[in-house]
Structure formats: C-alpha cells, structure tokens
Structure 1
Amino acid sequence: MTMQDGKTPQSDWARVDAMTDEEAEANALSDPDNPPMTGEQLRAAPRMPQVKVIRRALRLTQEEFSARYRIPLGTLRDWEQGRSEPDQPAKAYLKVIAVDPDGTAAALRKSA
C-alpha cells in the first residue's frame, strides 16, 4: 500500500502497544482481507515439525544441528520437510535435546 505522496505508511506501534487485548482482537476480527481461521482450517493447516522448532530455537543450521547431535542430514531434512516423522526413540532423543541441548552435545562428545 502506498500513499498519494508515494511513501509507504508506517505502523503506529505506540498506538498498537496501547491497545487492550479486547481492542486488538476486535481490530483483527474486523479486517476483511485477513479473516481468522476456522477451527477446521486450523486443524487442516500444516504444522511446523517439532525438530525445526528446536533447531531454530538453538539458532543452528540444518548442517550444524545434524553434526552436533549426530542425526543424518538427510533424515533431519526429511523430518523438517514432512516427508517422514521421527519414530518414538527419535522423538525421545529430540525431547532430550530440547531440554538440555548443551548437556546432550557434551555427552555425545565424551562418547566419541
């Protein structure tokens, strides 16, 4: 969106920050270009794989995460892109990584 003078309008973040939760929700619901998703749409929406959330939280690239936690890069990519899902032992391992990423990495270094 551009204004008549050719400039892009700036967001008034102070105004947004001053809104109550109720005002912000009413404002969001009134936007005809971006209606809220229905419960059915939310259930059908693709979810970000948990491994990707963990990796991003650690600020690691796929290659770094793969090397640090000894997960084959192809497997990691398959998990993140939804081509396959981690099995139960892998899910447990990912949970351990999420809870103690540095301790997990240190334990793997000691066993090398």
Structure 2
Amino acid sequence: MARFTLDPNTPPELTAAERARLEALSDAEITAGALADSDNPPLSADELRKLEAVRRVRAVRARTGLSQTRFAQAYRINVARLRDLEQGRTQADSAMMAYLTVIEREPEAVRRALAKG
C-alpha cells in the first residue's frame, strides 16, 4: 500500500480515460455503485438534513467574518454550543435557527439590541 498526502491546492487530476468512463455512467449506475460501497454508503435523508444545518450555521458565521469565539461573544452564544453545531455534534433547534436568520439578515441590529448600556 502506498501512502501519500493530498495537497488541497493541487488536487489529483483524472486522466482523459478516467473522465470519459465517469461521464459515461448513468444516474442509476452511479446510485448502484454508491449503494454497493460499504465503506462509504450514501447519506440518508436525515443525515443530509443534519449536514445542511451544519452548513447553514457555518455560513452565517462566515458571512460575519468572525472567528467562532468572537461570533459567540458578539451574539451571546455559548462557544462550546457553537462549535458543537458547526461540527455536527448537536443540532440547532428552531429557536437557534431563527436567531441565526436574524443575525444573517440584521447583524448590526442584533448587536445594538445586545449592547450593554
């Protein structure tokens, strides 16, 4: 077995033959191949929903340009809770998702509302 390290800046490229073989596969063949792969089975609908929630939490924070710690401080979210949400260890409830929507749409209004003073 050969070991190698992937460089994210220069991912491996498919040969022309490999690309042609992949492009020739039908959706049914792709699905059958995925279902047959016991090491990497397709995600269930529930797993896909969880990943979507994770992506949404990360995206809202990323739009602010803040680190996890700064975001948590600015919007009074427990930083451990935020990390758990972003890493998919826990799921955001409807109140947290609503709060993230408000932060996404009106971040300065939320900061003003939370300002001490």
Higher relative contact order (CA 8 A, sep 6+): 2
CA deviations 1:59-86 (Å, max 9, x no partner) are 1000010000000000000000000111
Amino acid of the structure 2 residue aligned with 1:109:
A
Aligned pairs, number: 79
Deviation at 1:51, TM superposition (A): 1.2
Listed as ranges, the gaps of 5+ residues in structure 1 are: 1-29
Aligned sequence identity (%): 32
Amino acid of the structure 1 residue aligned with 2:66:
L
Match of 1:65 among 45, 49, 71: 71
Match of 2:81 among 75, 85, 101: 75
Say if 2:19 is the partner of 1:32: yes
RMSD (Å) for aligned C-alpha atoms: 2.9
TM-score under structure 2 length normalisation: 0.56
Match of 1:92 among 98, 106, 113: 98
C-alpha distance in 2 between matches for 1:84 and 1:49: 13
Listed as ranges, the gaps of 5+ residues in structure 2 are: 1-16, 35-41
